[in-house]
Structure 1
Amino acid sequence: MATAAAHPATSLSARVDAADWPALAAELDVYGSALTTRPVLSSAECRAVAALYDEPGRFRSTVDMARHRFGSGQYRYFAYPVPAPVRALRAAFYPRLLPIARDWAARLRQPAPWPDTLDEWLAMCHAAGQNRPTPILLRYGAGDWNALHRDLYGDLVFPLQVVIGLDVPGEDYTGGEFLMTEQRPRAQSRGSSTTLLQGHALVFTTRDRPVRSARGWSAGPMRHGVSTVRGGRRHTLGLVFHDAA
């Protein structure tokens, strides 16, 4: 399997900016998710972020998925201040996702409360009582999986989020594909799966996407999860852009 190539000395923001955003936006419109064609983290950077999992002092909480019947495996929410690479990625993705979020809101005739900067948006979340950080590091071993769900933590929601693969599929682990299901009106749900290459970023909808209908546009509800890991260990970094109540 392909691994993340070494990056030149470019900032994380520049790497995110270099993604083909018109193509990603078009793919998001059709499928509700879109994978970058190039990595935003090098192999070494991925390993360094994954290694943070073993530093519990960096996190505000640890969730055992089996205990809560969310699936099987573990994840940890970073505490503020989040590590510099995670903070930089969150700040870099937000302005790129913002035009898509506003376009979707306009099509669905919904409010678009998101300001121009991530700091302003997080300040709004905190003022509304959503002041717990949501960047997340997930670890799955053999037999682990994540049930289909949505990451909604309060009334203020950003409609897109990002997950970055930190390990090499086919080498570090097998199975563990990223799953999405779309609930279609008066029809069976439709599913999709994506293999997360190391260092690549998958942008996906938090809750729903605009779907063309006879009356214009309607919201197509979507959920995401992870298929069973068949062997090895899988780490991912999740970037949610609204904080939690």
Structure 2
Amino acid sequence: MPHDLPETRIAAADWRAVEDNLGRDGYAVLPSLLTPARCEELAGYFFQDARFRSRIVMERYAFGRGEYKYFSYPLPDVVGRLRQSLYPRLAPIANRWHAAMRIEERFPATHDEFREICHAAGQQRPTPLLLRYRADDYCCLHQDLYGDHVFPFQAIFLLNEPGRDFEGGELLLTETNPKRPGRADVVPLRQGDAVVLAVNHRPVRSARGFYRAHLRHGVSRLHEGQRHTLGIIFHDAS
């Protein structure tokens, strides 16, 4: 398998460190999963309307400013491969998190099996999406929850280079912890990097086991330029 394929880079990642970072911070950065050429290819999809099932202008719904588009099935080849390749690396971590937080649902070994579960429950609309931000655009803090079956992680890929293609527009992650003050992180990303982050909550160890800290993510205001991101959400929508 050629070195520049996303599957090769995903397989080569330090997944023990990814799990450690997710458990400590609620996110983990996987550097250089996509080549610059692949990033440009994916960003160019934004203008190919036939690839998408819907377009959302954030300002209309008080989500922020900017726009995003949900892909339709069948997904573009690289998007489907990213979803298929990341899921089996994350599913065992997801099952350990659910066990720690005493959440009953467990996740099967492959994404095809999980998608069947989603579709049987009426969650049949694909959720991978492309987002575009321009000057003064931003995204409010939120969680991507689309139905009863929620995979606890998602991946975000930055498709442009900060400082060259845009200024501002940092990825923000906030955590609300019932036992200590909340916190916020700016997640550092370069073109081609991915971040895996907790969709809803993460387990936090205490003297009596684990409790849940709740997380949200968003994007700070873009000062200039243009910023595209690819979002890989593993559960489909109702």
Same fold (TM over 0.5): yes
Q: 1: CA distance between counterparts of 2:158 and 2:188? A: 9
Q: 2: CA distance between counterparts of 1:189 and 1:9? A: 40
Measured after TM superposition, the shift of residue 12 of structure 1 is 2.0
**5 Å matches for 1:1-245?**
9-36=3-30, 38-245=31-238
User: Is the partner of 2:118 in helix, strand or coil?
Assistant: helix
**Structure 1 regions of 5+ residues with no counterpart?**
1-7
Measured after TM superposition, the shift of residue 184 of structure 1 is 1.4
Q: 2: CA distance between counterparts of 1:192 and 1:10? A: 30
Q: Which amino acid aligns with 2:17?
A: A
User: Is the partner of 2:55 in helix, strand or coil?
Assistant: strand
Indicate the larger mover: 158-167 or 208-217: 208-217
User: Is the partner of 1:202 in helix, strand or coil?
Assistant: strand
Q: Which amino acid aligns with 1:200?
A: D
On the 8 A contact 2:128/2:231 being kept in 1, the answer is yes
CA deviation vs aligned residue, 1:48-72 (integer Å, no higher than 9, x gap): 0000000011000000001100000
TM-score of the pair, normalised by structure 1? 0.94
User: Is the partner of 1:196 in helix, strand or coil?
Assistant: coil
Aligned identity (percent) is 48
Root-mean-square deviation (CA), in Å? Answer: 1.3
On the 8 A contact 1:169/1:195 being kept in 2, the answer is no
User: Is the partner of 2:196 in helix, strand or coil?
Assistant: strand
On the 8 A contact 1:167/1:234 being kept in 2, the answer is yes
Q: 2: CA distance between counterparts of 1:18 and 1:9? A: 10
Measured after TM superposition, the shift of residue 9 of structure 1 is 4.5
Measured after TM superposition, the shift of residue 10 of structure 1 is 4.3
**Structure 2 regions of 5+ residues with no counterpart?**
none
Number of positions where the alignment pairs a residue of Structure 1 with one of Structure 2: 238
Report runs of 4+ in structure 1 exceeding 6 Å deviation: none
On the 8 A contact 2:64/2:140 being kept in 1, the answer is yes
CA deviation vs aligned residue, 1:187-234 (integer Å, no higher than 9, x gap): 432100113211111000000000112321011111011111111000
Indicate the larger mover: 98-107 or 43-52: 98-107
TM-score of the pair, normalised by structure 2? 0.97
User: Is the partner of 2:59 in helix, strand or coil?
Assistant: coil
Q: Which amino acid aligns with 2:6?
A: L
Q: 2: CA distance between counterparts of 1:43 and 1:35? A: 17
Indicate the larger mover: 190-199 or 200-209: 190-199
Q: 2: CA distance between counterparts of 1:214 and 1:148? A: 31
On the 8 A contact 2:3/2:9 being kept in 1, the answer is no
